[in-house]
Amino acid sequence: MCTRLVYLGPEDIVLTGRSMDWHGEIGTNIWVFPRGMERTGEVGPSSMEWTAEYGSVVASAYDIATTDGMNEAGLVANVLWLTESDYPEWDGETPGLSISLWAQYVLDNFATVAEAVENHRNEEFTVVSDEIPDEGRFATLHLSISDAAGDSAVLEYVDGELVIHHDREYQVLTNSPPFDQQLALDAYWSEIGGTAMLPGTNRPADRFARASFYVDAIPQTRDRRTATASVFGAIRNVSVPYGISTPDEPHISSTRWRTVADHRDRRYYFESALSPAVFWLDLDEVEFETDTVRSLSLGENQTNVFAGDVADELVETEPFDFLGVPAPSS
């Protein structure tokens, strides 16, 4: 499930691209959340609470979780599958945060990667996971964040402990294995050199090697259109052809959609695998000083066709309910 890469171009151009790979319909729609929304962690009486400082544009999953998005400060958050995730046992008393809100919590509250990392290092709350509805499978995710200055971080729960990898050079993330092992694989392939040979399967480790090569090989350009096209080309190269799925390995599934977020110019692009066109939202043209939540319905399997700027096609909508996790019994 998924690949994420960050392009660092000249004159502070920063673009984050990602693919969403999933074995079936993922129920994605586009949502615009204003600043000032009141939220809770959705885990019962000990849920953490906050008021959104920043508005955001997000892509949902099943309209119960935020999987991807960018806020008005140019911060991007993406969640990707990590089978090896092992979350700490929640005591029911420490403030809790449902995993469905993890990305949204970051988008609501922080302008930079450094701010989000510092907040997580304090470990004043616990991320709480549960089974995906109708899947019979525990949600095991890690989180990547990137900002308008080109900084990056990857946050994972491994052996019950939060592990944070924070460095501008951490531009690429896929699924398994945990990120420290992905870095070791990258070191191996970088010695071989991508022009000589690159691994070509759909496995996460191979996608990581290809994404790492292409994100550095695509043109360094000041032109936004060329840079965006190059990032889309790179993320398409590590996508999984539609119709391919490995039931016992959710990290090897068809690519359902792709996004590219332009941090500096605050433009959020979306491309469905079943639609012939790319559409986008300019965050400068989106009203975040309002009580109104708006959405763009993408249809089953994201087959509704949109192209170009879709700000005028957003519809006022009641916000979806994030998937909660029951509080532990006493």
Tell me the two tokens of residue 32.
Answer: 């615009």
Q: Is 96 a catalytic residue?
A: no
Q: Rounded to whole angstroms, what are the CA distances from 269 to 94, 105, 136, 328?
A: 37, 21, 32, 40
Q: Are 166 and 283 in contact (CB under 8 A)?
A: no
Q: Are 37 and 247 in contact (CB under 8 A)?
A: no
DSSP for residue 88:
P
- Which amino acid appears at position 276 of this protein? P
Q: Are 15 and 228 in contact (CB under 8 A)?
A: yes
Dist CA 79 CA 99 (whole Å) = 10
Closest listed residue to residue 19, CA positions, set 74, 67, 82 = 67
What values do phi and psi take at 185, rounded to 5?
A: -65, -40
Closest listed residue to residue 144, CA positions, set 166, 111, 119, 159 = 166
Q: Are 126 and 95 in contact (CB under 8 A)?
A: yes
CA angle 156, 273, 59 (to 5 degrees): 45
241 burial type by CB count under 10 A (0-12 exposed, 13-18 middle, 19+ buried): exposed
Task: Say how many C-beta atoms besides its own lie within 10 A of residue 249's C-beta.
Answer: 17
Dist CA 34 CA 29 (whole Å) = 16
CA angle 224, 78, 226 (to 5 degrees): 15
Catalytic residue among 1, 2, 32, 65: 2
Beta bridge partners of 161: 158
Beta bridge partners of 14: 8
Closest listed residue to residue 186, CA positions, set 150, 210, 167 = 210
Q: Which residues are catalytic?
A: 2
